[in-house]
Amino acid sequence: MPGVAQHFKYRHAAMVIALLFGGAITLQNFSQRVDHRLPKIHGVIIPEARALSPFNLIDQNDKAFSNRQLTGKWHLLSYGYTYCPDVCHTTLSVLAKFAEQLKQEGLDNDLEILFYTIDHRRDTPQRLQYYLPLFSEDFIGLTHRDNEQTAASAFEDSLGMISSIESTNRENITTEEQVYLVSHDAILYLINPEGKLQAVLKPLISKSGKAYFKAKLIYHDYRLIRQYFG
């Protein structure tokens, strides 16, 4: 049905623009508290790292993942959903290149890369088990169950995630085939070994308005942040 597809295409584009604008406001709020002596990155460094609200998630192996699992190492977190047609998988591909560069230089022993799905009904642990190895065997996928929605929302809110999900609710369609309209901004969150938000990395924007990341820029900014905080 071309008419329906076209409708969703325009709706999706409009929602993405709105969410990117909302993400810009969030970053602006962060920058109001930035110490200008901090290293310059494509994003915002938070001098006094922000504590995350208590949360309960599960990883792709169906094991519990909470604030406790964020301590002891740095974590770089991306979010989206596995059925995403563009920015999610391109971002994960870029993060795989970034991780490979760290590995080649022996700098990967205290950083883990996380992917949090905002579409937990379709993105089950089993789905994440299939999806994430397409990019890296080392990536950790995070989702949650329906009865953990409150704790998951606390996780999203404390990081400032912006997303919107709509379903067509058509009849005679299985959960896997359900048509979704999912929109979200493209932000990377750097969490320090205390489990606190230390920096927010924002994407580049193409002339056509699409958000994207570059592995070299992520590497550059990550190294500056690590050197600054020791």
Assigned CATH topology for domain 2-229: Glutaredoxin (3.40.30)
The HSE-up count of residue 172 (CA atoms within 13 Å, CB side) is: 0
Torsion sign over Cα 203, 88, 209, 163: negative
Average pLDDT (62-73) is 97
Residues 42/181, Cβ–Cβ less than 8 Å: no
- Mean pLDDT calculated for residue range 41-51: 96
**88 pairs with which residues across the strands?**
none
Which pair of tokens denotes residue 68? 């406790």
Query: What is the per-residue pLDDT for 20?
Result: 43
Rounded to a whole number of angstroms, the distance between the first and last alpha carbons of the chain is: 56
CA dist 119 and 164 (Å) reads 10
Domains in the chain: boundaries? 2-229
Q: Does residue 90 or residue 4 have the better pLDDT?
A: 90
Q: Name residues whose C-beta falls within 8 Å of residue 229's C-beta, 6 or more positions apart in sequence.
A: 192, 198
User: Any bridge partners for residue 211, and if so which?
Assistant: 205
Mean pLDDT of 202-214: 93
Q: Span 181-185, mean pLDDT?
A: 70
> Measured between alpha carbons, how far is 46 from 38 in angstroms, rounded to an integer?
9
- In sequence order, what DSSP letters do the residues of 34-93 get, joined into one string? --TTSPP-SEEEEEEEEEPPP-EEEETTS-EEEGGGGBTSEEEEEEE-TT-SSHHHHHHH
**Is the separation of the CB atoms in 56 and 63 below 8 Å?**
no
**How confident is the model at residue 9, as a pLDDT?**
38
Mean pLDDT of the residues in the chain? 83
Among 62, 55, 180, 56, smallest CA distance to 129 is for 62
Alpha-carbon distance of 75 to 77, in angstroms, equals: 6
User: Please, which pLDDT band fits residue 30 given cuts at 50, 70 and 90?
Assistant: low
Whether residue 106 contacts residue 68, with contact meaning beta carbons closer than 8 Å, is answered with no
| Per-residue confidence (pLDDT) for residue 12, from 0 to 100 | 42
CA nearest 80: which of 97, 94, 98? 94
Q: What value does the CA radius of gyration of the chain take, rounded to a whole number of Å?
A: 18
